[in-house]
Amino acid sequence: MRSGYDDGQLFERKDPFPVCGIAGIWGSSDGDVVERLMSGIVHRGPDGSGMHVQSNGVLGHRRLAIMDPAGGMQPLYDETAMAAIVANGEIYNFPALRHALGDRHTFATTSDTEAVLHLFEECGTDTPAELAGMFAFAICDQDHLFLARDPIGIKPLYYGRGLDSSGAEVTAFASEMKPLADWVEELHEFPAGTWYDSRVGFVPYYQVPTAPPVTRAADEHVALVRRGLEDAVASHMMSDVPVGAFLSGGLDSSVIAALARRHVDELHTFSVGLPGSRDIEAARRVAAHIGSIHHEYLMSASEVVERLPDIVHALESFDQDLVRSAIPTYFCARLAVQHVKVILTGEGADELFAGYAYHKTVSDPATLHRELCRSISTLHNINLQRVDRLTMLHSLEGRVPFLDTAFIALALTVPAELKLKTMTDGSQMEKWVLRAACQDLLPADIVWRAKEQFDEGSGTVDLLDEVLGSFPHEIDLDAYRTATDEPVRSAEEALYHRMLCDGYARPEMILRNVARWTEDRHI
């Protein structure tokens, strides 16, 4: 074990770190179209590509070699070579699936994706519900196309209608909007927790649990949360390549890092911020406490000015809060990919355990519980979109243990009164049950540290005041709203909106799919 700090200097990578992306069409064998789609997501898989072509469809894949780096190139085929699959993500119950399928199927690789295909041979449309993990995959099974996305929407998928080179209408899909936006005639996000069969249409297979919490003693809830989170982190450590952790110094990332550290001899952790920012100082303390190899990068105003258009374009959103939190994510992912290929993050804890300031405005526990259930189901196109796009931009795979479906189900059995707990002095402590469950893992001042948004604790909000003042363009907000017919909230958000539009010939395709974080609260 060792703990230390590097100076955060960025060196050119010598070897590509591949990340997965998928694309394809149905209704044509035009491989040139899919080649163009894949060229728009090269950053998701610079390690290689593959394509399956049949008379009525084409599948394309850009690869992340996390499982079976030597033998897991896609597309993968069943034993008869009649069905082909391309997939993005990780299946954490893959070892159990492989064991269960092993006596009836011949595995050509140790890739988790092959297990999905063999499972599909046996279970058909029931396959997605049997998978534990994050995924978006496509299967060409002779006369039909099957698509599916994981329950929470951790991995992205988009679809639309367009014309191939001959003018024939096709259904197209891809991991990001970028390669589709300037080509398709319509563009939609593929719903989370849903599968699609070209013969049947869209069918949801998962919903976030909405049952009332379970009555148990407080210490029993605390123990169950701890055990459930330990199980979730353990499953998310599955990899044939190094796994690290983002470490902001806040509760969520610190808990994940501390639990992950127990599974490896060396854990690399990563933090970004301004010199002297609260997150930087707290992350250093946590790293020293858990014995991680810690790396940090100090952002500057000039860098943010330079990188902001790229960040907005990668994010595929102009939402002000999402862009602000994407800035430190960008620099943290850029730093992390020098050392690891997989990163654990703390997304989902605030939604599960009432971590946001607006939760404190609710006096009715039943209403708060319903809001937490609802907000989990909306993460796919806000915070999870940020994590995916900004890690994938740097060819890094982000994993979110708090959003393991088994842990979600467990966390939602905890009464809201134990999440937003009224203390003896009358104050409200957010995420109390999570803090109590993990208080032995970290220094007390970290466990009970007040919640701050990533962009606040890292100093990004303060930095943006300096950054935005350095832009030469003055935006008349009322005039901009009138000209664009877009309800941008501020001149800052108008700037992000303009940056996003400047990146596309047909920005309206992207804009129709932009979720607004502030409009996502329904209390």
Name which of 105, 136, 412, 394 is nearest 270 in CA terms.
394
Q: How many Å apart are CA 503 and CA 500, to the nearest integer?
A: 6
pLDDT in single tens digits along all 523 residues of the chain: 333 333 333 323 223 333 489 999 999 999 999 999 999 998 898 777 899 999 999 999 987 555 445 555 789 999 998 999 999 999 999 999 999 998 999 888 888 899 999 999 999 999 999 999 999 999 999 999 999 999 999 999 999 999 999 999 999 999 999 999 999 999 999 999 999 999 999 999 999 999 999 999 999 999 999 999 999 999 999 887 789 999 999 999 999 999 999 999 999 999 998 888 888 999 999 999 999 999 999 988 889 889 999 999 999 999 999 999 999 999 999 999 999 999 999 999 999 999 999 999 998 999 999 999 999 999 999 999 999 999 999 989 999 999 999 999 999 999 999 999 999 999 999 999 999 999 999 999 999 877 655 555 566 677 777 767 655 467 888 999 999 999 899 888 999 999 999 999 999 999 999 998 765 566 6
Query: Over 26-54, what HEC string results?
Result: ECCCCHHHHHHHHHCCHHHCECCEEEEEE
Element (DSSP H or E) covering residue 370:
helix 365-376
Altogether, the residues listed in the chain come to a count of 523
Strands lying side by side in the sheet with 57-62: 49-54, 57-62, 21-26, 169-174, 158-163, 186-189
Per-residue confidence (pLDDT) for residue 7, from 0 to 100: 36
Which residues are the active-site residues?
20
Which of the 8 DSSP states describes residue 347? T
Per-residue confidence (pLDDT) for residue 110, from 0 to 100: 84
Per-residue confidence (pLDDT) for residue 16, from 0 to 100: 30
Q: Residue 452 in 3-state DSSP?
A: coil
Radius of gyration of the chain (CA): 23
CATH code, residues 218-520: 3.40.50.620
Q: Candidates 3.50.50.60, 3.65.10.10, 3.60.20.10, 3.30.2010.10; correct CATH number of 21-204? A: 3.60.20.10
Domain boundaries, the chain: 21-204, 218-520
